[in-house]
């Protein structure tokens, strides 16, 4: 039985990947399954927290005792994060959020026209949710945790991202077509704004989740 060290705390976790629609049947998306975020939600609930899980296109069963809010796009996720974060002690952004979305949405299915080249897709920037909630904390002392999905120069990119986003902790994990996304295991280094580095060896996503909550609990107490 885990220590109830998050009892009386409200934590918000985002999980999964946003989908940015082009038309009623197509979207730009990513390979996130939501498993890492769900592991964070389950472990926080087991440690006594009230958990709000913002689930972006995961298709996973709702974890017991967790408040699940489904979202689709980055813009919808932002609204849900801002609402849930208002009274949260910690916010953990494990969701893979699209940095860009198609500028135009076709209300009818886009058709291919014989002999014509396809129209280019024009992208516009999505809001950076993590940077926004880090810059404007809904509560003093609120702990904000980001994730960084990197394919190369993992640690250097992670450190730069931590500075840019302004969060307290950044979980840096390597991703690829068959790495981390959708798997039951992960391996990471958790970087702290205080300069700390906590390596987490390859193992179940719950194990990384527990380490994240250890670091959050230490910052809350």
By the rule CB under 6 A, 148 interacts with ligand PMT: yes
By the rule CB under 6 A, 63 interacts with ligand PMT: no
Report whether 169 contacts 215 (CB < 8 A). yes
Task: Give the Cα separation of 124 and 158 in Å (integer).
Answer: 24
Report whether 34 contacts 18 (CB < 8 A). no
**If we measure between CA atoms, which residue out of 101, 34, 39 comes closest to residue 70?**
34
* Cβ proximity to ligand PMT, 111 vs 177, nearer residue: 177
* Phi, psi (deg, nearest 5) at residue 159: -60, -45
3-state class (DSSP) for residue 179: strand
Instruction: Tell whether residue 152 is among the known ligand binding residues.
Output: no
Residues numbered 117-146 forming contacts with ligand PMT, rule: CB under 6 A: 126, 128-130, 146
> How many other CB atoms sit within 10 Å of the CB of residue 183?
13
Work out how close the CB of 103 gets to ligand PMT at its nearest, in angstroms, rounded to a whole number.
16
* Phi, psi (deg, nearest 5) at residue 186: -150, 170
By the rule CB under 6 A, 173 interacts with ligand PMT: yes
By the rule CB under 6 A, 158 interacts with ligand PMT: no
Work out how close the CB of 218 gets to ligand PMT at its nearest, in angstroms, rounded to a whole number.
20
- With CB under 6 A as the contact rule, the residue among 149, 169, 189, 200 that binds ligand PMT is 149
- Catalytic residue numbers, as ranges: 30
Residues numbered 27-46 forming contacts with ligand PMT, rule: CB under 6 A: 32-36
Please tell me the count of residues contacting ligand PMT according to CB under 6 A.
26
């Amino acid at each position: 039985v885990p220590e109830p060290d998050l009892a009386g705390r409200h934590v918000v976790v985002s999980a999964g990947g946003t989908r940015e629609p082009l038309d009623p049947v197509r979207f730009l998306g990513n390979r996130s399954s939501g498993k890492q975020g769900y592991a964070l939600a389950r472990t926080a609930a087991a440690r006594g927290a009230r958990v709000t899980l913002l689930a972006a296109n995961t298709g996973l069963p709702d974890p017991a005792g967790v408040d699940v809010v489904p979202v689709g796009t980055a813009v919808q996720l932002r609204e849900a994060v801002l609402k849930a974060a208002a009274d949260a002690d910690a916010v953990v952004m494990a969701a893979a959020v699209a940095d860009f979305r198609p500028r135009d949405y076709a209300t009818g299915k886009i058709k291919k026209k014989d002999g014509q080249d396809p129209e280019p897709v024009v992208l516009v920037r999505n809001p950076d949710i993590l940077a926004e909630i880090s810059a404007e904390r809904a509560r003093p002392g609120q702990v904000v945790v980001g994730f960084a999905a990197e394919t190369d120069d993992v640690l250097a990119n992670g450190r730069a991202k931590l500075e840019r986003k302004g969060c307290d902790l950044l979980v840096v994990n390597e991703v690829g077509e068959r790495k981390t996304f959708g798997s039951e295991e992960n391996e990471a280094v958790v970087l702290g704004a205080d300069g700390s580095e906590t390596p987490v060896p390859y193992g179940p996503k719950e194990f990384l989740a527990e380490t994240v909550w250890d670091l959050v609990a230490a910052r809350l107490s």
